[in-house]
Structure 1
Amino acid sequence: MDENQPIFTISMAAELAGMHPQTLRQYDRIGLVQPGRTAGQSRRYSMRNVAQLREVARLSAEGLSLEGIRRVLDLENQNDALRARVRELEAALADALLNQPGRRVFAAGTAGDVESLRAGTRARRRTDVVVWRPFGRD
C-alpha cells in the first residue's frame, strides 16, 4: 500500500490520529495537513497525513505553536523530497558511470562464459566440487 494514497475519510483519519474531525478541518484550512480531495471535494487522508496529524499532536503537546508546527512539517517534507532526489541522482550517476566506455568490468568463467559486473562487485563464486589430482598419480 502506498503511504501517499488518499483513502481515509475525515472521520476515519480523526479516529486514527486521536483527534476530533473539526480539528482536522481546521488544520486543512490553515494548511497544516492538506488531504487529497475526491471529485466531489470530500477530504481523503493518506497514511502519511495521519502520521503528520500524530506529529502535530505530539509537537502541540510539547508547547509548539501551530505556526511552529507548520514550519517543522515543511522542513520535514523538504528533507524527504531532497532525500528522494539524492536517491534519483545516485541511481542516474551509477547508470552513467556504467555506460561510459572502459567503465564496465567483466568476469570470465572456466567454460568461457562472460558476465558483466558493476564496479566494486564480485563475480558469483561457483560451488561445484572439483577433485584435483596431480598428473601421474592415482
Structure 2
Amino acid sequence: MDESSPIFAIAVAAELAGMHPQTLRQYDRLGLVSPTRTAGKSRRYSMRDVVQLREIAKLSAEGLNLEGIRRILQLENEAAELRSRVRELESALADELLSRSGRRVFAAGESGDVVTLRAGTRVKRSNAVVVWRPLERG
C-alpha cells in the first residue's frame, strides 16, 4: 500500500485532517481535493489527500482564501508532475546515450588538450624519442 491508495472513509479522513466531514465535501465540490469514489459513490481518501487537507487548513489559517489555495495547490501539483517528467526524460536520454553506437569518448591528447574519439578507438601516441639536455651556463 502506498500514499495514494484510497482507503479512508470521509469520517476517518476528516478526523485525520482535523476537519468536519462537511468541510471535506465542500473542498471536493470546489476541486481542492479529489477523492476516489467507490461503486456506491462514497468518497475514499488517500494519505496524500489527508496531507493535502492539512495543507489547505494551514494555508487557510495563514489568511488565504479558497480560490488562492486552489491555485497554489494546482501549481504545486503541476510542478510535481513536471519534475517527474524531467526525471523520466533524463533517464531516457541517459539510456539513449549509453546505447547509441558511435558515442563519443574523451581523452587527453599529447599536449594535454581534450580529444574527442569514437567509441572503440585509441589515442595515437607518438613513439619518437626525445632527449633532454640542460642548457650550459657560461
2:7 counterpart SS class: coil
TM-score w.r.t. length of structure 2: 0.73
TM score, norm. by length of structure 1: 0.73
Q: Distance in 1 between matches of 2:15 and 2:72?
A: 23
The structure number with the bigger radius of gyration is 2
Please report how far the alpha carbon of residue 39 of structure 1 lies from its aligned counterpart in structure 2 after TM superposition.
1.1
Deviation track 1:44-86 (CA, whole Å, cap 9, x = no partner) reads 0011110110000000000000000000000010011001101
SS at match of 2:2: coil
Residue matched to 2:68: 68
Q: Deviations over 1:95-126 (max 9, x none)?
A: 10011114398xxxxxxxxxxxxxxxxxxxxx
SS of the equivalent of 1:68 reads helix
Identity of aligned residues (%): 75
Which aligned pairs between 1:10-89 and structure 2 lie closer than 5 A? 10-89=10-89
How far apart in 2 are the matches of 1:56 and 1:82? 22
CA distance in 1, matches of 2:31, 2:101: 50
Question: How many pairs are equivalent?
Answer: 105
Query: Structure 1: where are the runs of 5+ without partners?
Result: 106-138
Measured on the aligned residues, the alpha-carbon RMSD in Å equals: 1.4
Q: Which runs of 4+ in 1 moved over 4 A?
A: none
SS at match of 1:79: helix
